[in-house]
Amino acid sequence: MSTPFHLTHTREVAFGDCDPAGIVYTGKIVDFALEAIDAFWRGRLNGTGWFQMNVDLGIGTPFVHLELDFTGPITPRAPLETRVRFARMGDSSVTFEVEGVQQGRACFAGRFVCVFVEKATMRKISVPDWVAGHVKGLVQAGQ
C-alpha cells in the first residue's frame, strides 16, 4: 500500500527547539513525535486525545516502550511532518509507528508502545471497546 501512514501532523519548527548545533535537540524530537501521537488519537477518536482520556474519562495511557532511529537533522527552515499509524493492538496495549519528514527527507522513524490503565490506580485495563473498534479496523488496513 503506497500511503500506509494515515494521519500526518504538521508543525513549525522554532528557533527555541534547536540547540547550539543549530538543529533540533534530540529531546524535542521525542516531544514532536509524542505530540503527533496525541493528535493522531484526537483525529481517530473524534477529538478524544490524552487530555480528554485522562481528565474526562479517568484513563491513562502511559508509554512502556519507545524507540527511535534518527536519520537526518531537523531544521527550522521547513515544517516537520510526522506520520503516525497504528501498528499493533494487544489486550491492553497499542503500538504506534511514527515517521518524521521534512521536505521529503526522512528525519526519524520509530515505534511507541502504550498501555491503557485506570488513572486512579495505575492498573492495566483492556483497551476500551470504543477505542479497540477504531484501532482494530485500522491495524488490519495497515493504517
Closer residue to its own copies, CB minimum distance, 70 or 135: 70
State which of residues 43, 45, 76, 138 lies at the interface with its own copies (CB under 8 A): 76
Total of residues contacting its own copies (CB under 8 A): 42
Nearest of 60, 43, 71 to residue 135 by alpha carbon: 43
Which residues between 35 and 64 bind its own copies (CB under 8 A)? 35, 38-39, 49-52, 54-55, 60, 62-64
Which residues between 108 and 127 bind its own copies (CB under 8 A)? 119, 122
- How many other C-beta atoms lie within 10 A of the C-beta of residue 107? 23
Instruction: Give Cα 85 to chain centroid, integer Å.
Output: 8
- State in angstroms the smallest separation of the CB of 106 from its own copies: 13
8 A C-beta contact, residue 125 and residue 87: no
**Is 26 one of the binding residues for its own copies (CB under 8 A)?**
yes
DSSP β-bridge partners for residue 105: 102
Q: In angstroms, rounded to a whole number, what is the distance separating the alpha carbons of residues 74 and 80?
A: 8
User: Rule CB under 8 A: which residues touch its own copies?
Assistant: 12, 14-16, 18-23, 25-27, 30-31, 34-35, 38-39, 49-52, 54-55, 60, 62-71, 73, 75-77, 119, 122
